[in-house]
Amino acid sequence: GVATAVTAVTEDCVAPEAAPSHHPAPETVEGEAMICRHSLTSGSTGAPKVLDHSVGALGRSICSTVGFSNCGLVLCMPGLSSVFGFRIACGVLASRKTLCFATSPYQAIRMIELFGIDMLYTATEQLVALVRVARKTGAYLKGLRTTVVAGGIPTRALLEGAAVHLCKNVVCRYGTSELGVLAEAPASRVLDNPGLIGFVLPGFEMAAFRENGQACAPGEVGIVKARVKPSPDRREDPWTDHGDVGWITDAGEVFVVGRTADISAADFGTAATREISPVYEIEHLVRLQWDAADAAALLVTSAAPDTSADIWIATVDCEDADAEALQHVLRRRGITGTVRLFSVAAI
């Protein structure tokens, strides 16, 4: 007869090989110290890292996310892969509300119309896309009562567009992967105070620091950092660097005007540093009013005195943009300069 080879497949055969790791798995613990999630930060400060989220820390952090008492259906645009989206999902489910997701701006607008979603959580870039779709389709979102936006500088063009095409109640938030939501303010306050990104929420402490690590005085420009407010029942946490430049007032107002990668510490004391670069406003205007798929603006200054900067704008899929008309719109918003448009395939 023919001999038949028999191979026994056991768990030893499929056991994964130990792979070298620079981030060893944490020790197994129980209770609130148990690690329930690992997240990668965006590397905003130039050093991406893994964050370990314990059950207790996550539970405490979602307290600032919960605000669902007057809503029933919540649409979360950030996915569960992001810390922002995951915390929102936890807060919604802990509040016994219905959690919804959408894979595209068109699907999101349609879901808000069809299901009567009354609360929307979105990142700044996602909000730009949602306002574009709502404006193009003429969507009637009568059920949407609150839009919460975080991540990135909220411009006047974006907040005004959201109030017109989505809902009047727009809330701006500021936070980090490590600590969660740190500050919050209604869009009306942000529009009246350029650079404002929120008021520090209870339980947190925020401050600006000089390059040498020394704390700034209230209202002094520096590197924005935050931590959990010290208390008798817990150790003092280290300050978390966000890579943002701004200042904090005595009243707990947090202003952010740019990134440490774009603003040098030597310029912290200049008057120009206290103003937000107009490129953010220009890019949002082009994308919202001229329906550009994407846009990037650059101010080109001249060495000659008493000359305004040229405004160079690269656009993607924006055939209707008109430099003269855009220049007129920008002038009405206090942004002067000669506009030049460049059509590109991608940015």
Residue 16: both structure tokens together = 């994964």
Q: Give the model's confidence band at 302: pLDDT under 50 very low, under 70 low, under 90 confident, else very high.
A: confident
Q: Which of the 8 DSSP states describes residue 298?
A: E
Indicate whether 283 pLDDT > 90. yes
Residue 44: both structure tokens together = 């905003």
Residue 339: both structure tokens together = 């506009």
Asked if 154 and 172 count as a contact pair (C-beta separation under 8 A), the reply is: yes
Asked if 257 and 242 count as a contact pair (C-beta separation under 8 A), the reply is: no
Cα–Cα dist 202/183, whole Å? 9
Full-model pTM: 0.83
Cα–Cα dist 316/293, whole Å? 5
Rounded alpha-carbon distances, angstroms, from residue 26 to 38, 51, 58? 10, 11, 16
Of the candidates 177, 181, 211, 183, which has an alpha carbon nearest to the alpha carbon of residue 195?
Answer: 183
Cα–Cα dist 114/50, whole Å? 39
pLDDT, one tens digit per residue, over 30-54 is 777 888 888 877 655 566 778 888 8
The percentage of the chain sitting over the pLDDT mark of 90, rounded to a whole number, equals 54
What value does the mean pLDDT of the chain take?
86
Cα–Cα dist 61/346, whole Å? 38
pLDDT, one tens digit per residue, over 324-345 is 999 999 999 999 999 999 999 9
Q: Give the residues across from 296 on adjacent strands.
A: 314
